[in-house]
Structure 1
Amino acid sequence: MTKGECSMLYSRTEYAQKKKPSPWILDSGASNHITSDLQHLCNVTDVSGCPVGLLNGHTAISTKEGKVKLSDNLNIEHVLYVPQFKCNLISISQLSYDSNYSVQFTDDLCAIEDRTSKMLIGSGERRNELYLFREAPSNKVCKVEGMNELEV
């Protein structure tokens, strides 16, 4: 991995060892992407005291932000580091504004698509009244040279 390159959040080894990774919640009410785990971030930079409201009514101040690679097709930038926070949030507002993605919700699912190609790049599954991010399955296409007609 080169400097500035993000690794995916959860390796196959973590899943194989049955470690339960912290879920990322797709939140239509959040103003910013937020994580409480500094290890999720790459390209970390200092920010000038960004206030973040906590569930208990208090305010925490974020002084760092970075980039998170959620999957091969989905990177989120300007993710605030807030150690007092108890979960990881993907802000739908920030996701739509910062990137070329659109997000659509149904009663049980949400889809994150590239606006131009309409390719599904991520999704959310509703669990306990929250939409939890999950990576979109990747499909590979292989081009075969020298075949001009269908052979059965």
Structure 2
Amino acid sequence: MDEEVMVLMTVIEGGGVEWWYLDTWCSNRMTSHLEWFCEIDKTVRRKIRFGDGSCVIAEGIGKVAIRREEGTKVVVNDVLYVPQMKSNLLSLGQLLEKGYSMNMKGSYIEVFDSKEKVVLKVSMTSNRTFKIGVNSIDKKMSSCTSR
């Protein structure tokens, strides 16, 4: 899990950037981009309920490969495939379960590993959200092995 968070530290500017929102309300990482999955189990189906009471169905769970700025890749596990999603969500709750801690102050959020090292710092946007940009790797170009 350490590598998963470290990759999110680097915001990559320019083409190919995909935005992920840090979310305290979502229970899982979620995306609608099937092409990002380098491995997926489509037999897993879960009902997702949003804060407004609406529901959608997750149609799989798997691994998404993300490219770091220097070209290496990291695999993010346990990402739900939700075709109806309009945004990509990264669950802060999942990070807490893995032993990470968070601090929100001023206009940013910091995520710390178990040794209290800052592994992620994200500024709040003008609409009061926290988002990070990363490069996803198309499954046709990559396996699920980190390099």
TM bin, normalised by shorter chain, reads: 0.5 to 0.7
Residue 87 of structure 1 deviates from its aligned partner by 0.2
Corresponding residue for residue 89 of structure 2: 89
Residue identity opposite 1:46 in structure 2: K
Q: Which amino acid aligns with 1:63?
A: E
Question: 1:79 aligned to 2:79?
Answer: yes
1:58-101 deviations in Å (ceiling 9; x for gaps): 3111121122355579754211110101001111111211x232
SS in 1 for 2:96: helix
RCO comparison, higher one (Cα < 8 Å, 6+): 2
Deviations 1:90-148 (A, max 9, x none): 11111211x232222123111122113x332222221111011257xxxxxxxxxxxxx
Structure 1 residues 73 and 37: CA distance shift in structure 2, 3 A:
closer
Check conservation: 1:31, 1:93, Cα contact below 8 A.
yes
Matched, 1:22 2:18: yes
The CA distance in 1 between the partners of 2:62 and 2:46, in whole Å, is: 13
Give unmatched runs, 5+ long, in structure 1.
Answer: 1-7, 136-152
Q: Residue 56 of structure 1: CA displacement? A: 6.5
2:118 alignment partner AA: L
**Partners of 2:84 and 2:64 in 1: CA distance:** 19
- Partner AA of 1:122 in structure 2: L
* Percent identical: 26
Partner letter of residue 85 of structure 2?
F
Whether the 8 Å CA contact 1:122–1:134 is kept in 2: the answer is no
Q: Which amino acid aligns with 1:101?
A: Y
Give the number of equivalent residue pairs.
Answer: 122
